[in-house]
Amino acid sequence: MVSTSASDERPFPQSRDPIYPDKLICFDPHSYSSGRWLRQDKSERAARYIKFDFNALCQKVLDVSPGADTITNCKKLEGGFNRVFVFTLNDARRVVARLPFALAGPAKLTTASEVATIKYLQSKTSIPIPAILDWSNDPTNANNTIGSEYIIMEHATGVQLHQKWPEMAGDQRVKCIDAIYRKMKELVDLRFQAFGSLYFAEPPGFGEAAIPLLFHPDLHKRNIFVSEGDPATITGIIDWQATSIEPAFWYSDEIPDFAIPIETGETIYAEAFEVSSQFLTPILAGPRLMDESLFRPFRYSYRTWKDGAVALRHDMIETARRWKELGLVGQCPYPLPTPKDFADHEKEYKLFEAAQVLRRDLSNLLNTASDGWVPPEEWEATESAHKEIFMGMLQAVLTNQGLDEDEPVKDEETLRSIWPFDIN
């Protein structure tokens, strides 16, 4: 997801005479300016700083846009992993340049895989993906004058479904969900022999649920464009970064935002999603009917470097306990812990759960993203509210007000250790 950044009056280096009106240089193209973080704010913003030649990027946009010789407007947008510049040219065309932050994924590989995935899908499906005009995954290459990895694409036609959804009639929404999953059907109909990401060069089950599958990694209304006149017609699907071939069950429990009820009792869109999914992408619907415990060990295995081993250990213990009940053959390779080891684990896991609940509840109270992202205009009020909530929680812990016997957080040190955001 991307959001419009705040204007920034700071100047930036220019390598040659600008090829755009002076009014365009009202933002800093290098620094992150779309929000702040309650946790590690300085390092989060530093991680999203991109050193590159903005004028060279502008020139490249014109070079790949025959018939245009001037940029008439430029909008800076930012998400969690990319900085996007939307250029309007003097022939009224719009061109998008996307530069990944260093934290978007492995250098060179992330961009190369996204481009390969898009070109593969354009050759194998009718999914409307904006054409790639130019790209580079090597800032050191002599042909890359920009100094950063980048992808330059045509702008998706239509408008974001997120904008049209509130004004669409119920039957239009149902037709739109059906149209989306007819496009997704083309994805799940593709067959692969292995897991991983797509590249231009060939990279070095339990049955259908584990079949290698390619699917959109972040399917929601902001990444889907629809016709202005007929919003049930899909005109563009964007943001294919980090797309990879994964087991079918990996994607099966993702519920897109257009299928989540907003009001109590509103189920028609969830039902339309289920019907479309079952009939058009049945390979995704199947795993949802299976016992979730079969897949749980995979949920945390790739995040142990960040979340620690406790969640993975918990799921492995549960799998070992239910090995025969789940119909798995042979002897479970993961031994059950001793009573003492299990008691120690339970203590750790309760603290892990408390940390997850705290992050969720705190994000809801402060109306922030789960990583603590806050829009610039709400920063001061949110930061103040955050401090007030922490002090209130700390007071409750120190005085043992309303704490259960099983409450894992009983002192200030433990509270601070699981608090998800920075406390100064």
Average pLDDT over residues 37-50: 94
What is the C-alpha to C-alpha distance for residues 340 and 406, in angstroms, rounded to an integer? 18
Which residue is associated with the tokens 């992993």? 81
Residue type, 91: D
Cα–Cα distance, 111 to 138 (Å, whole number): 9
| Mean pLDDT along residues 6-11 | 35
Least confident of 90-104, 210-224, 258-272, 405-419: 258-272
The answer to whether the beta carbons of residues 415 and 392 sit under 8 Å apart is no
**Residue 29 predicted with pLDDT over 60:** yes
3-state secondary structure of 134: strand
List CB contacts of 358: < 8 A, sequence separation 6 or more. Answer: 418, 419, 420
Per-residue confidence band for 5, with pLDDT thresholds at 50, 70 and 90: very low
pLDDT 10s digits, 317-364: 999 988 877 777 788 899 999 999 999 999 999 999 999 999 999 999
- Residues 112 and 138: beta-carbon distance below 8 Å: no
* pLDDT band for position 369 (cuts 50, 70, 90): confident
pTM above threshold 0.85: no
Handedness of CA 279, 283, 284, 290 (dihedral sign): positive
**Average pLDDT for 193-210:** 72
Structure tokens at 221: 């209304």
Q: What is the mean pLDDT of the chain?
A: 87
Q: What is the pLDDT of residue 299?
A: 76
Domains of the chain (ranges; CATH) run: 36-155 (3.30.200.20), 161-290 (no CATH), 292-336 (no CATH), 347-423 (no CATH)
Q: What is the pLDDT of residue 66?
A: 87
pLDDT for position 26: 82
Is residue 267 scored above 80 in pLDDT?
A: yes
* Cα 83 to Cα 92: distance, rounded to the nearest angstrom: 22
Extract the tokens encoding 214.
Answer: 């390619």
Q: Output the pLDDT for position 407.
A: 81
Provide the CB-side half-sphere exposure for 421 (13 A, CA). Answer: 27
Question: With 0-12 CB in 10 A as exposed, 13-18 as middle and 19+ as buried, what is 100?
Answer: buried
Q: Rounded mean pLDDT of 58-86?
A: 93
Q: Is the pLDDT of residue 16 over 50?
A: no
* pLDDT higher than 60, residue 300: yes
CA dihedral 75, 79, 42, 378 (to 10 degrees): 80
pLDDT at position 14, please?
A: 42
